[in-house]
Structure 1
Amino acid sequence: MSFTASLTHFINDNGPLILDGGLSTELEAHGAKLQGDPLWSARLLQTDPQAIKDAHNRFLLSGADVITTATYQASISGFVKHLDVSSEGARELMMSGSASGQRDRQRRLLVAGSVGPYGAFLHDGSEYTGAYAEEMSVEELKLWHRPQVDCLAAAGADVIAFETIPSIKEAEALVELLREFPNCKAWLSFSSYSDGSLFTDAVQVGSRSTQLLAVGVNCCNPAVVERCWTLPGRSFLCPLGGCCRVGPAQTAELRRELKGS
């Protein structure tokens, strides 16, 4: 089933699209030791993939329509460096997060392939400032992100979730890169700690691509999110869900508020 068909099915039959919550939070709640790990939850793709599947299942049982792969802090370079695997082994790990979700297709879900900012690989907090983007070109940022997007697209993710992007320059790189994968759809979520650009500027970047289905924010207080954004001639999907520290209980509460069940 294509993403467009899947999305139409969910919107028509189920109402608002409910995302899952904080995967790492849920993994840690069940014993995973992730703090300080340069790969964060992505390490478990090698060491304990069942823990990731179980966490996804708990979010699905709580009412989430979307599961997000454990690849936010993953990269081919990062896997090679921190797991001592080959480039091919790193690609297999990157793809495995999405592939596990495909096996649950009969459960009426969508799989979002998570792509974090370059700063997540640096593991120095710069994913919230975007400071690195000042010294990188758009082409350099595209070069960095290309292997990750290629793997998730090849694995059959329904949508690429560009998450916690802290700078307009990196967003522009991702929008340009997306054109290299014409069959992919994506959403673009900015960190509210970003580089100081106006959110209206972020929406304008998103409007340049018909492949982008949503532009939003994450890692922010819900109180600052006032409404969905629209542009003349364009409308964006408004998926709703949690981020860090949001577990299945909160996802279930959100579903009750939005769908009454």
Structure 2
Amino acid sequence: MNSTLPSLLAEQGLVILDGALATELESRGADLKDPLWSARLLIERPELIREVHLDYFRAGADVATTASYQASFEGFARRGIGFDEAAALMRLSVQLAAEARDAFWAEPANRVGRHRPLVAASVGPYGAMLADGSEYRGYPGVTRAQLAAFHRPRLEVLAASGADLLACETLPGLDEALAIASLLPALALPAWISFSCRDGEHVSQGERFADCVAALDGLPGVAAVGLNCTAPQHVPALVAAAQARTRLPIVVYPNSGEQWDGVAKCWHGVRDAEDFAAQALRWQRGGARLIGGCCRTGPGEIRALRAAVLAAG
């Protein structure tokens, strides 16, 4: 029997997500200096995407998040790619993750102590299409109706692609979350919604994270709510705020803790998989039920997280 997010949560208590896709692809030699970012490899090196998904499953991930974050009809159109081909590339992102999942699950040893993993189709924010970093600032001049019109066609393609759920991620503000939530009932596929946060209290656009979480509580199709692409030191306060305002499972997948230097175009700081896993256990004790990593986390962090969860019982 295939797994679902509710069944995994019921049986395991904690669902382990994967880590970063783009920065992991870069670490394997991929050139992502392109507005399409990791979606560029759907065209040029799809086999590398499949390989990373498989490595995350082997490391212990219960969910693969697809390479569709930056995949939008508008973004592909700027590269001369028409609607039908763009839709096919979006479906390919799900196919690659599903192929990796099926290859992992075909090995009997991988089934010991595990449930069949899920595939979450990544839905990046409007700001990802702009490719100017505005998913970390917001775009208050864009209306909720405009945001819904932007997201609808891609959501329809991804919802019909064979994914198990949608990962609507790195949203900077509430209007975009509500625009997406308004579309979910027609899609018949559950979604988690996660915000980028600038500190321990506010999402990137400035609203209080607790208010954003509360506004999504109980909306049809919203299966979990939380944060991603956020500094890990902010996570405990954000999880506590969410716990007080929602009955939904809380999803958490922050960055590694390193800092991006936009001038030098490099990361600074220390990356420590064991420390990341130790922090993740604290987030779990605080109430998070889906935990993984975002930028600069990789299979090492996910492997350490799964080992820590098993050791903690």
Verify same fold: TM over 0.5: yes
Equivalent in the alignment of 1:99: 95
Residues 131-160 of structure 1 show CA distances to partners (whole Å, capped at 9, x for unaligned) of: 2xx222211110101111111101021111
Displacement of 1:208 in angstroms is 4.2
Q: 1:202 aligns with which of 200, 208, 212?
A: 212
Select between 169-178 and 245-254 the one with higher mean Cα deviation: 169-178
For residues 65-214 of structure 1, what are the structure 2 equivalents within 5 Å?
65-82=62-79, 84-103=80-99, 104-105=101-102, 107=105, 108-131=116-139, 134-181=140-187, 183-193=188-198, 194-214=204-224
Aligned partner of 2:32: which letter?
L
Aligned mates of 1:246, 1:154 — CA distance in 2? 29
Aligned to 1:241: 292
- Cα distance, 1:223 vs. partner? 2.4
Would the aligned equivalents of 1:171 and 1:205 in 2 still touch at CA under 8 Å?
Answer: no
Q: Report the TM-score, using the length of structure 2 for normalisation.
A: 0.76
In the alignment, which residue of structure 2 is the partner of 1:60? 57
Corresponding position: 1:253 with 2:304? yes
Percent identity, aligned pairs only, is 42
- List alignment gaps of at least 5 residues for structure 2: 106-115, 199-203, 251-288
Partners of 1:129 and 1:166 within 8 A in 2: yes
Please tell me whether the aligned partners of residues 42 and 92 of structure 2 are also in contact (alpha carbons under 8 angstroms): yes
Contact conserved, 1:138 with 1:169, CA < 8 A, in 2? Answer: yes
Q: Distance in 1 between matches of 2:244 and 2:30?
A: 42
Q: Supply the distance in 2 between the matched residues of 1:29 and 1:232 (Cα, whole angstroms).
A: 38
Task: Give the aligned CA root-mean-square deviation in angstroms.
Answer: 2.0
Query: How many angstroms does 1:168 deviate by?
Result: 1.1
- What secondary structure does 2:170 align onto? strand
Residue 281 of structure 2 corresponds to which residue in structure 1? none
Separation (CA, whole Å) in 1 of partners of 2:56 and 2:245: 35
| Distance verdict in 2 for CA 1:8–1:174, change over 3 Å | closer
- Name the stretch that deviates more: 136-145 or 103-112: 103-112
Q: Highest relative contact order (Cα 8 Å, sep 6+), 1 or 2?
A: 1
TM-score, normalisation: structure 1: 0.90
Cα distance between partner residues in 1 of 2:71 and 2:245? 36
